[in-house]
Amino acid sequence: MSLAVQGSLFDHAERRQLTDGAWIDVRAGWLDGAETLFDELLSVIPWRAERRQMYDRVLDVPRLVSFHDLLTHPAPHLALKQLRRRLNDIYAGELGEPFTTAGLCLYRDGNDSVAWHGDNIGRSSTEDTMVAIVGLGSTRTFALRPRGGGPSLRIKHGHGDLLVMGGSCQRTWEHSIPKTSRPTGPRISIQFRPRDVR
């Protein structure tokens, strides 16, 4: 499958400055061919369920996941390498390093979610990084709020949309995909990250 992305990201991207040096880029409809890619990833990705310690109990993580180091292992689908290459063309200079991994999450319905967090595991508490997220399938709310609380932003992250969090965003802000009681179909989120960021 050959993928097409819209020309220069910065021709139409909406960069939104947050606080404390954090920013997000939002690019609706960035990926052409998203429907075919969604169907292919749904069937070829080695999805797995995880369990996590939450206080005094071990609970099921409310989504399926798959993680791939694209530098050291074959990608389960060529599109992951193609998207990584395109994102590196756009952002590696600003980031100062390339994206190297692809983490995928499958939100099967509105009961699947991810709690407030920042993707900075493996980095120092003062180091900035970048995370690029391609959304496939049903539109879900992508929520952001200042770390420690405060008013949140709620972004509709739709099919083929690109959302990039940069600057201090992973240190000074948190993000989540909240549960929803509205009927919703499955969604795949592909997160591209540099080394040592999860």
pLDDT at 5 over 80: no
Classified as helix, coil or strand, 37 is: helix
How far is it, in rounded angstroms, from Cα 193 to Cα 37? 20
pLDDT score, position 2: 58
Sign of CA dihedral 12, 13, 16, 21: negative
Q: Yes or no: say if 173 and 167 are a contact pair by the CB < 8 Å rule.
A: no
pLDDT in tens, 75-88: 999 999 999 999 99
Domains in the chain, CATH or no CATH each: 11-193 (2.60.120.590)
Question: Can you tell me which residue has the tokens 């890619």?
Answer: 37
Greater confidence, 10 or 73? 73
Q: Give pTM, 2 decimals.
A: 0.91
How far is it, in rounded angstroms, from Cα 142 to Cα 131? 14
Retrieve residue 74's tokens.
């074959």
